[in-house]
Structure 1
Amino acid sequence: MKIREENAEFETIPALIDDRAARWGDKLALTIVDKSLTYRDIALRSASLAAGLTEQGVAKGDVVATFMHNHEAQVLIWFACCRIGAIAAPLNVGLQGDDLRYTLNDVGAELLIVDSECWEKLEAAVPENISRSVFSVEPVADCGHFNELFSASAPPSVVVQPGDTCCIIYTGGTSGMPKGVALSQFYYIVSAYRWGSAIKATSSDHHYSVLQCFHVAAQTNAIVTPILYGYGSTLDRWFSLSRYWSRVRACDASIIDPMGSMFTLLVKQPPSPQDRAHRVRVTWGATAMLPKHVEEDFVERFGIFIVPVYGGTEIGGTAVVHTPLGEIHRKGTNGHPNGWCDLRIVDANEEPVPVGTVGLITVRPTVPYSMLNGYHNNPQRTLDCLVNMWWHTGDLGSVDEDGWLTFVGREAHWLRRRSENISAYEVESILARYPGIAEVVVVGVPSELGEDEVKAFIRPENGVSIDPRELTKWAEDHMARFKVPRFVEFVERLPQSAAKQEIERHKLKQHGNERAWDREAADMQKA
């Protein structure tokens, strides 16, 4: 399926939600942490909130940030921003310390809406030079309440275009701090059509999600796609291993979205007679960095079809490349573009590599506004990734003679832990400030759950002894907990290439952990 603005049913999110409210009104659309919204609720409350945001001085192009766990407010704020041409920026609740402070400065929001847990981290991190109005979804001292932002007035009439940025998603990068990916209104419409097409969505489906609203996968798969196709969706606060299948059954879900190591944890649970007591028919293949047996065991045990996918926030979210439900899949691949993008594998000189050869994955859209508008506040980084008019993903892979993609892995400075992208440079830049560290390199090493564990190789200053437990405790105050190294290994020197004197990260990744201090093992001994 190919979609152009001239033949798409909807071009913007307001057009979509208003149509669904008129068509399905009182039908249940979304349940987010036990708060239910009908299609009419979504349309009316987002309009009321849009009017209220305008009364607060928010105008087209302004940013409204949220810093909270899954909550109905995130969806309503996002859709309200879409109505008035403003931009929503849902921030990762794992941010704290330096990376939270950086992100707040970078996003430059006019308003910030938090929950009580994130308010405490905000108080600790926010610098004096950030001046903005802060509201909370729960009673918090010195904060306005989210409910105060709704207005009885009609929202202003603002013309929004398909290509207008409506959301900024912060994601890990290969260098520096997190980058804000600016995404258009039509980006989400295209993503919903693509995911619905991939899974053969129908109005009788129900989606159960444990993903967070600050990730594009939850936004596209669990929010916009169900609204487009007219089926219900339930989003819980967090992934709970002990309650997962009971929640799936309680929601009568037909679509689920475990991600990364969640698959491993579900498979490792003791077998149960209830393993197939559900009506789930499909999930997505967010399994690329897991041991192959995990995916096979999941399908065999739970009887759920996995749609193989490859995608990313910058290039269109979920399933830019996929194998549609019902199509014969080529084992070991992630699928093919299905007309949604052009795909090319290139070498270091930007030359296409032969069929079957591993190289850098580059893509370009075949549908307008279906990929990022650019990086927020960072046009140079946008240009750096857009070489020869092809978007460079930073991933490695190969294609066969028919264009089926096989994802191989990420470039050296990327790692992925518990479904979160992490920049090695970012963690290194923070750890380097710890007293006594002369040099530090961070790499991803294999995790027993799949994906990566964070490992820091540290060269101390001469004569300095560093306590790894004190170092990681310090790190927890300066970065998101999922970025804090599990393994710490002290070395006298770091391997460097003869040609460029660059750190040979591939050698460090293969070093093993026999000589490393293990934070998880230390915590277990302490307990």
Structure 2
Amino acid sequence: MTIVLDEFALIAPRNGISYVRGSTAIELSEETIGQLLAGTAQRFPDRPAAVFRGQGIRWTWSEFAEEVDRLAVALVEIGIEKGDRVGIWSPNRAEWLLTQFATARIGAILVNINPAYRVVELEYALNKVACKAIICAERFKSSNYLEMLLEIAPELAAQHAGRLDVERLSDLRIVVSMDGSDLPGVLAFSDLMARGSAALEGGAGAILAALDAELFSDEPINIQFTSGTTGAPKGATLTHRNIVNNARYVAMAMRLSEADVLCVPVPLYHCFGMVLGVLSCVSTGASMVFPGESFDPGVTLAALAEENCTALHGVPTMFIAQLEHPDFASFNLSHLRTGIMAGSPCPIETMKKAVAKMHLAEITIAYGMTETSPVSFQSSTTDPLDKRTTTVGRIQPHLEVKIVDEYGSIVPIGATGELCTKGYSVMQGYWRDEEKTHESIVDGWMHTGDLATLDADGYCNIVGRLKDMLIRSGENIYPREIEEFLFRHPKIQNAQVFGVPDKKNGEEVCAWVVLREGETATVEEVREFCRGQIAHFKVPRYVHFVSELPMTVTGKVQKFAMREQMIRLLEVEEQKTA
């Protein structure tokens, strides 16, 4: 029987303070990722596990587990040991999924490399965590991954004793190309898999059994770099226990079972894809469908219809793109039921349209961060629509959350403060960065940097980022409130609000606006829409129309980039009028 979160009581705030604790009715799992997969493959050997539509790959759970073992043995054969860091640099492909589980199977630490990284970012990431190996696609969009590796490791083609001899990447020894390569120092993924098959036929399966007995749930298994929306990426270090349990509870909140088919258009390199998507399916036996290497609204809609998907994950911009696709009405989405909308604040209007037009009556909202594995709050499939459109739900099991002021004191119910999380989901720390770790985790509490409120029933509302809050003439202004209002404008598809410096008021409100296709609007029209509806000091002084917003690969808007660009534009305008 599928266990769902509705079956145990969530503990609401008490004594009028913003502190909430999750239920402990369903015990934490101490399984490793390998053990989790083995159990599912044993229960549902012939049920569909994974579909990669772009590659024409379809695996049952038993087939998927066998492919994982082939790669795991092959990694041992080429010298990967427990604790070694193995980078994965690729869009959503079957090889990514296999690497995720094969590394976990032998106790190596998977290092997620952002597919959008360029040379400087790649070199930083590989050196930061001392990657011994990297498995990569040959190219993705405009990026040629092997060429970038050659740029920072010109000795890549020079082999010495079967290992790479490099200088700038002093720890890198093995490069595997998913697409093959003529470079003498690069292994082809297909050859690696063939090597694994031969090893298994020779009895190497005993090696995996021995390694499995040496693995423990509290050991690090994954390093994920923060998205870089506010500064240099940091390597959040996560354990089996962190992400296995988060995936379990997230799946329960969605009521996922082996009968479900989850569409995963979000990137695998991020927690949204590999934990809320992949591991949630592995924990329940639900099958996972990957529409393509990266998100495309038409390709995703086709996958939803043709694979009879019952669940869909995505960030708000993905749902907006699908809802506004010119052929949206031609796709049969009647099988859809649930999923997760997360990754950035979810516009209320977008949520309502997803429920009404995409049949996602049981879609959930989730909130969290990479450093907390990631989800801390999630709505349930039975929460009233108003709670699913105005909050991020209630606390997940075995976690504690408090909302604190600038002095660290817990604020009253309904008051705004910084959200802090404690419990099994909190990362071990930032890899080789004790200073940043101690700044973020204080007495076990992860300081998220997010501004939030809690109501009397324990529902959480994310007001914005601590660093996003702006102060105009002494008034605290939370951008999300203005963004939600702007979404009501019939011509506006997306809007992001932030502060820019002002000599008189300290900061002024600026809105970047993306209009719906075919629409036109003026600055004054947008400002007039706001007047009399929101406080005068919240009405944007500056409105800048753009065709798209600067975003990370996971769909998070980069307000720091908008702010920097807007400041430059204002300086140019000031010089013109001087």
TM-score exceeds 0.5: yes
What is the rounded CA distance, in whole Å, between the counterparts of 2:125 and 2:420 in structure 1?
27
Q: Which residue of 2 aligns with 1:510?
A: none
Q: Which residue of 2 aligns with 1:498?
A: none
What is the rounded CA distance, in whole Å, between the counterparts of 1:145 and 1:405 in structure 2?
48
The answer on 1:346 being equivalent to 2:404 is yes
In the TM superposition, 1:283-302 aligns within 5 A as 283-286=339-342, 288-302=344-358
> Which residues of structure 1 form unaligned runs of 5+?
417-423, 425-442, 451-474, 495-512, 518-527
The answer on 1:107 being equivalent to 2:173 is no
Amino acid at match of 2:173: R
What is the rounded CA distance, in whole Å, between the counterparts of 2:422 and 2:309 in structure 1?
34
The answer on 1:209 being equivalent to 2:264 is yes
What's the secondary structure of 2:63's corresponding residue? helix
On the 8 A contact 2:301/2:328 being kept in 1, the answer is no
Cα RMSD (Å):
3.5
- Give per-residue Cα distances to partners, 1:152-211, cap 9 Å, x unaligned: 123341211111111111113576421111111122221221111111112111011111
Match of 1:46 among 55, 68, 88: 68
What is the rounded CA distance, in whole Å, between the counterparts of 2:26 and 2:337 in structure 1?
33
What's the secondary structure of 1:207's corresponding residue? strand
Q: Which residue of 2 aligns with 1:29?
A: 49
Amino acid at match of 1:200: R
What's the secondary structure of 1:237's corresponding residue? coil
Pair 1:129–1:79, CA change in 2 (3 A):
same
In the TM superposition, 1:176-325 aligns within 5 A as 176-235=231-290, 236-270=292-326, 273-274=329-330, 277-286=333-342, 288-305=344-361, 306-318=363-375, 320-325=376-381
What's the secondary structure of 2:565's corresponding residue? strand
Shift of 1:36: 2.2
What is the rounded CA distance, in whole Å, between the counterparts of 1:397 and 1:389 in structure 2?
19
Q: Which residue of 1 aligns with 2:18?
A: none
Shift of 1:147: 2.7
Pair 1:449–1:181, CA change in 2 (3 A):
farther
- Give per-residue Cα distances to partners, 1:66-123, cap 9 Å, x unaligned: 1111122222222122122111112111000322221121121111111111223333
Amino acid at match of 1:316: S
The answer on 1:149 being equivalent to 2:192 is yes
Amino acid at match of 2:147: E
- Count of aligned pairs between the two proteins: 444
Match of 1:408 among 463, 472, 478: 463
Percent identical residues = 23
17-26 or 380-389, which deviates more: 17-26
Match of 2:80 among 45, 58, 72: 58
Shift of 1:493: 10
Q: Which residue of 1 aligns with 2:430?
A: 375
Q: Which residue of 2 aligns with 1:132?
A: 173
Pair 1:297–1:191, CA change in 2 (3 A):
same
Amino acid at match of 2:419: I
What is the rounded CA distance, in whole Å, between the counterparts of 1:481 and 1:347 in structure 2?
26
TM-score, normalisation: structure 2: 0.69
What is the rounded CA distance, in whole Å, between the counterparts of 1:444 and 1:90 in structure 2?
34
The answer on 1:398 being equivalent to 2:450 is no
Amino acid at match of 1:55: E
Q: Which residue of 2 aligns with 1:488?
A: 565
Q: Which residue of 1 aligns with 2:147?
A: 120
* Greater C-alpha radius of gyration: 2
Pair 1:290–1:11, CA change in 2 (3 A):
closer
4-13 or 36-45, which deviates more: 4-13
Q: Which residue of 1 aligns with 2:476?
A: none
Amino acid at match of 2:454: V
On the 8 A contact 2:119/2:151 being kept in 1, the answer is yes
Q: Which residue of 1 aligns with 2:444?
A: 389
What's the secondary structure of 1:396's corresponding residue? strand
> Which residues of structure 2 form unaligned runs of 5+?
6-21, 140-144, 155-166, 470-478, 481-497, 499-508, 517-549
What is the rounded CA distance, in whole Å, between the counterparts of 1:516 and 1:332 in structure 2?
43
Shift of 1:234: 0.8
On the 8 A contact 1:170/1:178 being kept in 2, the answer is yes
